[in-house]
A and B are shown apart, each in its own frame.
Chain A
Amino acid sequence: MPTLLAPRFWAIHLLALVLAATAVGLGVWQYDAWHARRAHEAADLTRLDPVPLDDVIGPDDPFPGTKIGQPVVVEGTWVPDGTVYVSGREHAGRAGYWVVTPLAIGSESDPAIPVVRGWVDDPADAPTAPTGRGALVGWLQPPQGTGETDPDPSDDVLPQLRIADVIQHVDQDLYGAYVVVADDVAPGAWPTGPTAVNDGTDGLAPATIEQLPDAGTFTAVRNLLYAVEWWFFGAFALFVWIRWMRDELELEETQPTPEDAPEPEPAGTTVEGQ
Chain B
Amino acid sequence: MRNLFNAYRVLAIVVGVLLAFCSLVALPLKYLAAEGGSLQQFGESASIMWAVHGWAFMIYFVVAFFLSRKAGWSVGFTIVALAAGLIPLLIFWVEHRVTQRMRVEHPELAAAA
By a beta-carbon cutoff of 8 Å, the part of chain A in contact with chain B is 221-222, 225-226, 229, 232-233, 236, 240
- Which residue on chain A has the smallest CB distance to residue B48? A222
Q: Known contacts A222-B50, A229-B58; can you find 10 more A-B pairs with CB under 8 A?
A: A221-B48, A225-B51, A226-B51, A229-B54, A229-B55, A232-B58, A233-B58, A233-B61, A236-B61, A236-B62
Query: Which one of B51, B58, B61 contacts A222 once the chains associate, using CB atoms below 8 Å?
Result: B51
By a beta-carbon cutoff of 8 Å, the part of chain B in contact with chain A is 47-48, 50-51, 54-55, 58, 61-62, 65
B51 close to A221 (CB less than 8 A) = yes
Q: Which residues of B contact A222 (CB under 8 A)?
A: 47-48, 50-51
Q: Which residues of B contact A240 (CB under 8 A)?
A: 65
Q: How far is the CA of A240 from the CA of B62 in the complex (A)?
A: 10
- Which residue on chain B has the smallest CB distance to residue A243? B69
> How far does the Cβ of A6 sit from chain B's closest Cβ, in whole Å?
20
Q: Which residues of B contact A236 (CB under 8 A)?
A: 61-62, 65
Total A-B contacts with CB atoms under 8 angstroms apart: 21
21 contacts between A and B (CB under 8 A): A221-B48, A221-B51, A222-B47, A222-B48, A222-B50, A222-B51, A225-B51, A225-B54, A225-B55, A226-B51, A226-B54, A229-B54, A229-B55, A229-B58, A232-B58, A233-B58, A233-B61, A236-B61, A236-B62, A236-B65, A240-B65
Q: Which residues of A contact B55 (CB under 8 A)?
A: 225, 229
Q: How far is the CA of A225 from the CA of B57 in the complex (A)?
A: 13
- Which residue on chain B has the smallest CB distance to residue A222? B51
Q: Which residues of A contact B48 (CB under 8 A)?
A: 221-222
Q: How far is the CA of A226 from the CA of B51 in the complex (A)?
A: 7
- Which residue on chain A has the smallest CB distance to residue B65? A240
- Which residue on chain B has the smallest CB distance to residue A224? B51
Per CB-CB distance, the 5 closest pairs between chain A and chain B, nearest first, are: A225-B51, A222-B51, A229-B54, A229-B58, A232-B58
Q: Which residues of B contact A221 (CB under 8 A)?
A: 48, 51
> How far does the Cβ of A150 sit from chain B's closest Cβ, in whole Å?
48
Q: How far is the CA of A225 from the CA of B47 in the complex (A)?
A: 13
> How far does the Cβ of B50 sit from chain A's closest Cβ, in whole Å?
7
> How far does the Cβ of B58 sit from chain A's closest Cβ, in whole Å?
5
Q: Which residues of A contact B51 (CB under 8 A)?
A: 221-222, 225-226
Q: How far is the CA of A233 from the CA of B85 in the complex (A)?
A: 14
Q: How far is the CA of A225 from the CA of B51 in the complex (A)?
A: 6
Q: Which residues of B contact A225 (CB under 8 A)?
A: 51, 54-55
- Which residue on chain A has the smallest CB distance to residue B52? A225
Q: Which residues of A contact B62 (CB under 8 A)?
A: 236
Q: How far is the CA of A27 from the CA of B61 in the complex (A)?
A: 17
Q: How far is the CA of A192 from the CA of B62 in the complex (A)?
A: 58
Q: How far is the CA of A90 from the CA of B105 in the complex (A)?
A: 72
Q: Which residues of A contact B65 (CB under 8 A)?
A: 236, 240
Q: Which residues of B contact A229 (CB under 8 A)?
A: 54-55, 58
Q: Which residues of B contact A232 (CB under 8 A)?
A: 58
